[in-house]
Amino acid sequence: MKTDPDFREIIEYEKHAAPEHSHRGKTTESFLDKKAVLSALGVQRGQTVLDAGCGGGYMSRVFSELVGPEGRVYALDSDEQSLAALKTQTAGTNMIVVVGDITVNTGLLSSSFDLIYLSNVVHGFNPRQIPGFREEVTRLLAPGGRLAVVEIVKRATPFGPPMEQRVSPEELRSLLGLLPLSTHDAGEYFYVQLLGKSGDR
């Protein structure tokens, strides 16, 4: 497969990345069609958003602007080093930086989030983490709230995890067991799947 020069740094980073799925360093996020993602999400002023696995907080900052001073954005990641600068830079804003893991109880308030967003995170979960993730998302979503999962497509791409780690939209819906809402393209290499709580049927 021919490799575009723009992808070489990412490929080298992925080759040497730790298995803990750290968000520091090079990222494939730059190849996301963020306008398409935001259009699918429809974030509104006054909402409360959880950016789980936020890394350096790029999307958290975008969400912060969209929800305005009436809303709140929680930037959650297990990597304290990634969050240190974000916490300093966003002090006094509508963003709350939290060290935590979305696959276990985060300690955040139940039924309080209009949107939970994860980008290129779920494929890194092992099978033992999925039930805890489903349980925590269900606990945290407000009535009518949505889970948005961005993942890389399950076909040959110039970068990304091994094919056996990738999940198609159909596999993702089956894996999570939540209410499927809609699926959207998010650029050439990504998609975004929207889901809701099963009890919201």
Task: Kindly list the structural domains of the chain, giving each domain's residue range(s) and its CATH number in brackets, ordered by start.
Answer: 5-12+26-180+189-200 (3.40.50.150)
pLDDT for res 84:
93
Note the helical H segments in 32-168: 34-41, 58-67, 80-89, 130-140
Mean pLDDT of the chain: 87
Question: Which distant-in-sequence residues (6+ apart) come within 8 Å of 30 by Cβ?
Answer: none
User: Mind listing the pLDDT tens digit for each residue in 80-137?
Assistant: 988 999 999 999 999 999 999 999 999 999 999 999 999 999 999 999 999 999 999 9
What are the start-end ranges of the E strands in the chain? 48-52, 72-77, 95-99, 113-119, 141-152, 179-185, 190-196
Does the CA dihedral 126-110-146-35 come out positive or negative? negative
Between 9 and 57, residue with greater pLDDT: 57
User: Mind listing the pLDDT tens digit for each residue in 22-52?
Assistant: 444 345 667 889 999 999 999 999 999 999 9
DSSP 53: T
